[in-house]
Chains A and B, each alone.
Chain A
Amino acid sequence: MKNEHNDNPPVMKFGMAIDLDKCTGCGACMVACMSENNIPFKEDESDKLVSITWMRIFKLSNGKSFPDTDICYLPRPCQHCEGHGGHSPCVSVCPATATDYSRETGIVSQIVTRCFGCRYCMGACPYHARYFNWWDPVWPDGMEKYLSPNVSPRMRGVVEKCSFCFHRYQLAKNKAYLDGERRVPEEAYQTACTQACPAGAIVFGDLNNPEHQVHQIVKPDPKHGGRSQNPRAFRLLERLGTNTKVYYLSSREWVRRSGDNYLEHEKTGQASQPHH
């Protein structure tokens, strides 16, 4: 700490607002992510426990019978939990310093070359956002040509997850240096899923920056652990205190209620009562 020169860069908190009223469950975000991040595939991907999808779409149902049934899709990237002071569930348990929380960007990183595959983080993650490489990636002959140099392909035995396309931030920073700008402009750093979404359901940016659209939608309340002040917004398992940076928007009460495990008498969005 004594070496600190107090030139820490501006504190950003990259996050997302996903409008579930607009999300159609089309899967473009999943494939944009796979294509952007060199995610491998196998012959059989129907065992979803071992199918690597940094971005995964879940299908929610209101559980009512025909014709009162309703469904809603929920895209789930890594939620980039801040917890308290950056102690997100996975970062706290990693014995290899392979996963880390950056106070500069709010991004939970995963350095696959550092990971030795103990999978504690997978156990700790409440969102199943982490995936283990049970096999070496194999691309059919010729297909390795489309691999992007921006993201290092992973090997067997390591855990991987969504990085909020951090490499795009790195590249945008390069450009900012060249242009003599101190900060990366909002539009210069967007995740692959945000960019691809044909419904425009995902908004990405700096939650700390009032000029960013995501801040304006979410209106995070720093006094209450980043809770959104938008009545349509909720976070997944918010009451665990994971303090995630992915906010969901829905005008449907049952959808918002699906975001947490409420007891029958609890109201949606109500804080859980501590036990005495």
Chain B
Amino acid sequence: MKVDRRSFLSFVIGGAAGTALSPLPWKLMDDSSIWSQMWPWTPVPPDGEVVYEDSTCTLCPGGCGISVRKVDNRAVKIEGKQGHPINDGGICILGLSGLQMLYGPTRVKSPMKRIGERGDGQWQKISWDEAIAILTEKLIDIRDKGEAHTVAAIAGSDSGTVPALIQRFMTAYGSPNFMRTPSGRDADELAVNTLFGNQGRTGFDVENADYILSFGSGIVDGWGSPVRMFRASSLWKDKKTTVVQVEPRLSNSAAKATRWVPVNPGTEADLALGIAAVMVSRNMIDTGAVSGLSSWKSDLLANYATEKVSQTTGVAAEVIAELAKGFAGANRPLALCGRGKAQTAGSLRDIAAVYALNALAGNINQEGGMWPIPEADYIQWRDVATDNLASAGLSQPRIDGAGAGKYAQTRYLASRLADAVNGNGPYPLQVLLVASANPCHDLPDTQRVKEAFARIPFIVSFSSFHDETAAMADLLMPDHVYLERYEDVPVDAGLTQQMIGLSRPVVSPQFNTRHLGETLISAAKAMGEPMADAFPWDDYETCLEETLAEKWDTLMEDGVWVQADIDPVGDRLQLAGMDADAVQAEGDVNSFPLLLLPYDTIRLTSGYIGEAPFMIKTVADTVIKGNDGFVEVNPQTARAAGLGQGDMATLTTPRGEAQVRVHLFEGIQPGVLAMARGLGHTAYDAFLAGKGVNINTLIGPVEDPSSGHDAAWGIRATLSKA
């Protein structure tokens, strides 16, 4: 039998007929189309029981309540907690992005020690026991040599049990060098102390005010407790409250205001005092809550005559008069200050001028007014028994110069840390502990800060993330992120109540991390007496529960503890602090004819948390394009420099230089440039690193003569075609 061509064809035809009559082609077609619709590599999120767990967000000082949606053990969405006194269901862009931080690739997944050169990013995973041993051996060694004061700690906050544990650790150890990263709180605390004569902070009853005069405060850009302020802003719209925004640039807050009053950069206090002078001269004031007016009056009227103020601020004389009339004539006027998110301390003069304005309008401790109130004082631990080594260390001056000499009233001066370490301090630092802070990105003059960090022989980072400061560290002892831990969250941020939120674990720790409170307690115990004696708790949770005492049950039940009726720390404002000269921008006006201002936006973070991928995704292509950052320029200024939209330019300041793109913006005064704060990260992941310019590399601290605080609001600059 020969298989010829015809037989073969017949076989094929038979095969084809049979195939067509079998399910094979039809089923394959169906299956392959299904396959192509649902590629096996597209993730299929597992379904399960949905539960909501409530906690408190700690990504910013705002203190919002959150509800985390979980599917079985996975957290899948963060939402605002309904009925919470601060945010009542609302939530900000950062709070919404929290899960990208929890599950993100930039987590420090285990304790690690550096094995390569500093900044090389070469780490070796170690056990927690080993990490504690490395830390405590180092610390004991230094302490035994009587050099306890050469150990410093820098943290993002000084309130709540965890910062209190750090402070207690430093005290028991014998170092005066606990520092809080700079923010508007510094100047606020100083102003309350100076003007009301007591420790405390201000609260602003924004919801009940009926005329808001904001001196550059980013009401909807992240100032205060951001979600509270968003809600207040909408409430004002409903109530038709007048909102005046005094600011050199048309920020989102200015755009939302009833009226935007452009002002020359850095002259906000002059305008405030100019308005005060009009009010005083026309007797539109309430003297009930002001002391020292009679002696100040003539100075005020002489130095802040309307014409003169108009000259300084660039605000027309009739506008100044209108503002004075509107503010003084309102039922419940309220003036706010702290530029943008108030991320730098600012000068005492800036803040005192605005607080004085509030006092002259008679709103101190009034509905819709300003309330100087005490911090919630719930941490009542017995005093640390210091031994001789500790006492010797504690008697040394602080490395940043705060609390002594001309800065006697100042508590922290972290902005001077770099300078002190780079040779202008009283002694060299041997160890720096960094917690919930990222000074290598967030402190002004980043190059100098990095230089200083390179000089510190041993740096320990407690960061949960591979941030810029962790990159400079020798030992990483990663903290849980907020969704994995218990923590009390005292909220100040301009609230008129005392409020404590509770963060609690929503998911179990994802990696081999440890609660910072736990790390400190176990380190102290490992160091033996007298350190161990100062930390009598078995673990952090015991410490927290004991500390919160009767508040614990409320917090476990409601997630938040609120004390509404608080005795203010003062009811009369002593006029002071306003005779200092205005702080000028650094740089020579001839070599640097332009002014560069940092601006804040809620879409970028402040503080030590780097932006999550979702946040960066929302950033406009006129802020970042590819890796290029933009600088906002008035078209007139750009034209003069021969620059157009999107052009590459070289931006130079006395502190540094950067390549930037030009974004033409009519909402900025000619001669002024603005750049977003919070970009230009070098650490983290590819979703964040390398995007834009860190404005802190272009700007340096300018000391407030009254306090030593960093009062820089901008820097002189030039912009030329690249």
- Mark A residues whose CB is within 8 Å of B: 19, 21-22, 24-28, 30-32, 34-36, 38, 41, 43-48, 51, 53, 57, 59, 61, 63-67, 69-73, 113-114, 136-137, 139-149, 152-156, 192, 195-201
A28 B75 Cβ-Cβ under 8 A: no
**Of A24, A32, A143, which contacts B230 at CB under 8 A?**
A24
Q: A22-B233, A45-B616, A47-B621 are in contact. Are A113 and B37 (CB under 8 A)?
A: yes
Q: A142-B103, A147-B45 are in contact. Are A41 and B666 (CB under 8 A)?
A: no
A59 B104 Cβ-Cβ under 8 A: no
CB contacts (< 8 Å) of A197 on chain B: these are: 90
CB contacts (< 8 Å) of A45 on chain B: these are: 613, 616-617, 619
Nearest residue, chain A, Cβ from B38? A113
Q: Does B564 contact A (CB under 8 A)?
A: no
Q: Does B13 contact A (CB under 8 A)?
A: no
- Which residues of B (600-619) have their CB < 8 Å from a CB of A? 602-603, 613-619
CB contacts (< 8 Å) of B489 on chain A: these are: none
Chain A proximity of B298: nearest CB distance (Å) = 34
Q: Does B187 contact A (CB under 8 A)?
A: no
Interchain CA distance A25-B79 in the complex, whole Å: 19
**Of A32, A46, A198, which contacts B626 at CB under 8 A?**
A46
B42 A201 Cβ-Cβ under 8 A: no
Q: Is the interface of A mostly helix, strand, loop or mixed?
A: loop
* Residues 545-583 of chain B, each 1 if its beta carbon lies under 8 Å from chain A, else 0: 000000000000000000000000000000000000000
Chain B proximity of A224: nearest CB distance (Å) = 28
21 chain-A/chain-B pairs, Cβ below 8 angstroms? A26-B92, A27-B602, A28-B91, A28-B92, A31-B614, A31-B615, A32-B96, A34-B617, A41-B617, A45-B616, A48-B621, A53-B618, A57-B618, A64-B666, A142-B510, A143-B100, A148-B76, A148-B77, A149-B76, A155-B38, A196-B90
Q: Does B87 contact A (CB under 8 A)?
A: yes
Interchain CA distance A199-B690 in the complex, whole Å: 32
Chain B proximity of A159: nearest CB distance (Å) = 14
A51 B617 Cβ-Cβ under 8 A: yes
A198 B614 Cβ-Cβ under 8 A: no
B74 A146 Cβ-Cβ under 8 A: yes
B624 A46 Cβ-Cβ under 8 A: yes
Q: Does B405 contact A (CB under 8 A)?
A: no
CB contacts (< 8 Å) of B41 on chain A: these are: 136
Nearest residue, chain A, Cβ from B687? A43
CB contacts (< 8 Å) of B48 on chain A: these are: 149
**Of A41, A146, A153, which contacts B687 at CB under 8 A?**
A41
Q: A22-B234, A41-B613, A61-B666 are in contact. Are A195 and B220 (CB under 8 A)?
A: no
Nearest residue, chain A, Cβ from B511? A142
CB contacts (< 8 Å) of A201 on chain B: these are: 234
Chain B proximity of A160: nearest CB distance (Å) = 13
Question: Which of B195-203, B255-263, B332-340 is near enough to bind chain A?
Answer: B255-263
Chain B proximity of A151: nearest CB distance (Å) = 8
Interchain CA distance A114-B614 in the complex, whole Å: 27
Q: A136-B39, A142-B104, A149-B47 are in contact. Are A199 and B618 (CB under 8 A)?
A: no
B666 A66 Cβ-Cβ under 8 A: yes
Q: A65-B666, A113-B38 are in contact. Are A72 and B255 (CB under 8 A)?
A: yes
B99 A46 Cβ-Cβ under 8 A: no
B77 A35 Cβ-Cβ under 8 A: yes
